Chains A and B, each alone.
Chain A
Amino acid sequence: MPIPLAATEVLDREFLTVREKLLDLAATLDRIDRAEGVVDDDRMEKIRQSLQLLIGDGPDRAQRLQRLFSLPYNEGWQADFGL
């Protein structure tokens, strides 16, 4: 089902919101850098991978981002549980 708006109209509506979110993200990463100590944490790697995903081409970015932050699914879980 198509969105009834033109792409330029969507961008016009959302540009400032996107800019705000990107600035928030940039400031948060700066804050982590300025804070004492070094972060050695898988979550930082997830953030880096997310940014790579966002600048790439292709549809379903939200779905792919969700999967990036998800635990893996094991098809054999029922056997593991003895079911």
Chain B
Amino acid sequence: MYFFDPHIHMAARTTDDFATMAKMDCLVVGEPAFWMGYDRSGTNSFYDYFRQLTEWEPKRAANHGIQHYAWMGINAKEAEDVGFAREVIALLPEFLDRPNVLGIGEIGLHKCTKNEVTTLLGLIDLAMAREEQMLFHTPHLEDKYLGTRMILDILRADSRVDRSRVCIDHCEEHTIRPALEEGYWAGITLYPTTKATPQRAADMIEVYGPERILVNSSADWGPSDPLAVRRFMHEMRRRRHPESLIRRIVYDNPLEFFRGSRNFRFVPPEQD
């Protein structure tokens, strides 16, 4: 069965990972701009990173038959310096029209400070002015519940937001319900130690159903697994869930969400 990994940081992964993912029937990846493990020293570093996500990574993926899409933004960990963040935000319009860009992401909160909120409001303003889809990072560990509730408060207060074109990502047991109940897509990230396991993701599907849920690896430069979505599929099969349900979560759902972007040009696989 083909699958999407709708949130993965391939810039931090090797070409061997692309090859392995392709062999395991990964068809499409979505790569949000994120924190590369260190704070960048200037806007030129972001500029080059955005070029990497829109020029180089699509080619590297295509060499293995994988369709590569990206999200442009400044992550919450580098959003504390509001002046610097404004300079990065000013770079975004040049990239948002590039052919593989789905929208603005991953954006959100990290330590839930006033400055992070100021930067986030600027990013949302840009997204609304350009009618872009948005992908939200929610904080890790003890900050997650607080940060997720704050993000939902911000979005609820903005009447311009079309909730069907927004994903609240890295949801866990205590944050997935409010994201779904308010009409957003909810991402579940399969990530060792700090996010969800394939087993807990399957549990959440059983509790909340498959509607508007995306499952991703968010694999990056840290301990993570680019085949995590496959492991989730395996767990669902072990529990005897039907193939149609698994396909809905790993293929139909991300396809529907990505189709909300004007730049999404999906090429379906040839079927026998």
Contacts and interface: CB of A to CB of B under 8 A. Distances in A.
Interface of A: 1-5, 13, 60, 62-63, 65-67, 69-74, 77-78, 81-83
B149 A73 contact: yes
B64 interface: no
Contact of B174 (A5, A66, A74): A66
Contact of A3 (B145, B150, B172, B239): B239
Given A2-B206, A77-B150, A77-B153, A66 B239 contact: no
15 contacts: A1-B207, A3-B239, A4-B241, A13-B238, A62-B203, A63-B173, A66-B172, A66-B175, A67-B145, A69-B142, A70-B145, A70-B174, A72-B146, A73-B149, A77-B150
A59 to B, nearest CB: 9
Interface of B: 114, 117, 141-146, 149-150, 153, 157, 172-175, 200, 203, 205-207, 209-210, 238-241
B75 to A, nearest CB: 20
A35 B43 CA distance: 47
B271 to A, nearest CB: 27
| Residue of A70, A71, A77 contacting most chain B CB atoms (<10 Å) | A70
Nearest to A67: B174
Contacts of B153: 77-78
B145 A73 contact: yes
Contacts of B157: 78
A69 B141 contact: yes
